[in-house]
């Protein structure tokens, strides 16, 4: 159970303006709480399979899921199977994976299926990236249902830069291939999607009257840019952002979620 905090115990790492915005949005009719996972709910790690949400963040997020007129969602660049394996999402949490290409709205949700042309295109993309990985020590590939991801976090900086440049050179002009850059990753997808589209879809599907979104990566800027007046966008980290507010690290995401939980319960009278 997430411990209740009195107002005077509110963590000082959240600015007064951010806390005021949390109080305001918590009173909306139907709240959507949509969170990125890696670098937001979970600290960034060298090996993707080792990522886990910080316990306080996971507890507050799960508690929000159980509140009336409140929908929680994870919006991740990970494929849905990978996201489930590390995030252990609450049963009612909606999931958007592969930067919006995969969506899970509950039992019976259809899986992403590629037609023959896109499957052939994806296989060709993988062959190109395999050749780059063979020549770039420390890089590796990750397969997703509609994409192949070049990971460079374990490579030396110069090797990583050269590998990404080589991948862009062979793929950026290829029709039907969409490139996305993230934290030491380059994703080549054969489906055009974005986290911004994911936020818009979740807003419509849930009937949300206001949305909270937090994320750390460059790909999260699509979601932050898609927020509406009255929504709350929070950047995790020090990179450039369009978000109204910034917090420094995943540890502060826990404080944000706990504050949101406290104010939402107060607004709902539960």
Tell me if 241 sits within 8 A of 223, measured CB to CB.
no
**The pLDDT of residue 47:** 87
**The pLDDT of residue 75:** 97
What residues does 188 pair with on adjacent strands? 148, 179
**The pLDDT of residue 6:** 42
Domain 13-110+194-268: which CATH number of 3.40.50.2020, 1.10.3720.10, 3.30.1330.30, 3.40.50.1000:
3.40.50.1000
How many angstroms separate the Cα of 213 from the Cα of each of 78, 89, 155, 230? 17, 16, 31, 12
Q: What are phi and psi of 181, to 5 degrees?
A: -100, 145
Tell me if 213 sits within 8 A of 75, measured CB to CB.
yes
Please tell me the distance from the alpha carbon of residue 95 to that of residue 85, in angstroms, as a whole number: 13
Q: Where are the alpha helices (DSSP H) in the chain?
A: 16-25, 55-65, 80-87, 116-134, 157-171, 195-206, 220-225, 250-268
**The pLDDT of residue 12:** 54
Tell me if 21 sits within 8 A of 212, measured CB to CB.
no
Q: Map out the domains of the chain as residue ranges.
A: 13-110+194-268, 116-189
Which of 131, 72, 146, 66 has the alpha carbon at shortest distance from 105?
72
For residue 154, give every residue at least 6 positions away whose Cβ sits within 8 Å of its Cβ, in sequence order, or none. Answer: 46, 138, 139, 140
pTM for the model: 0.87
Which of 52, 54, 41, 110 has the alpha carbon at shortest distance from 85?
52
pLDDT truncated to tens, each residue of the chain (270 aa)? 444 444 444 445 899 999 999 999 999 999 999 999 999 999 999 888 999 999 999 999 999 999 999 999 999 999 999 999 999 999 999 999 999 999 999 988 988 999 999 999 999 999 999 999 999 999 999 999 999 999 999 999 999 999 999 999 999 999 999 999 988 999 999 999 999 999 999 999 999 999 999 999 999 999 999 999 999 999 999 988 999 999 999 999 999 999 999 999 999 999
The region, left, alpha or beta by phi > 0 then psi within -120 to 50, assigned to residue 98 is left
Q: Angle 209-110-127 (CA atoms, 0-180°, nearest 5)? A: 110
Residue with tokens 């927020």: 227
Domain 116-189: which CATH number of 2.160.20, 3.30.980, 1.10.3470, 3.30.70:
3.30.70
Which of 148, 78, 82, 94 has the alpha carbon at shortest distance from 119?
148
């Amino acid at each position: 159970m997430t411990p209740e905090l009195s107002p005077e115990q509110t963590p000082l790492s959240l600015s007064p303006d951010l806390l005021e915005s949390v109080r305001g949005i918590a009173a909306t009719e139907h709240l959507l709480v949509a969170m990125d996972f890696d670098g937001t709910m979970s600290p960034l790690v060298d090996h993707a399979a080792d990522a886990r949400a910080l316990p306080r963040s996971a507890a507050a997020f799960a508690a929000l899921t159980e509140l009336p007129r409140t929908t929680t969602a994870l919006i991740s660049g990970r494929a849905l199977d990978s996201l489930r394996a590390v995030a252990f999402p609450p049963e009612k949490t909606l999931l958007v994976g592969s930067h919006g290409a995969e969506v899970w709205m509950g039992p019976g949700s259809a899986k992403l299926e590629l037609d023959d042309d896109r499957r052939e295109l994806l296989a060709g993309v993988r062959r190109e990236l395999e050749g780059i990985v063979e020549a770039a020590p420390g890089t590796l590939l990750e397969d997703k249902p509609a994409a192949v991801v070049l990971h460079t976090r374990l490579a030396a900086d110069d090797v990583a830069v050269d590998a990404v440049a080589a991948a862009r050179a062979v793929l950026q002009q290829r029709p039907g291939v969409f490139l996305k850059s993230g934290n030491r990753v380059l994703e080549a997808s054969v489906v055009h999607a974005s986290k911004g589209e994911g936020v818009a879809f979740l807003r419509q599907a849930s009937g949300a009257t206001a949305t909270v979104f937090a994320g750390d990566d460059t790909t999260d800027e699509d979601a932050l840019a898609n927020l509406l007046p009255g929504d709350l966008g929070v950047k995790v980290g020090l990179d450039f952002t369009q978000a109204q507010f910034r917090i420094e690290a995943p540890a502060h995401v826990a404080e944000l979620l706990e504050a949101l939980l406290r104010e939402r319960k107060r607004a709902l009278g539960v």
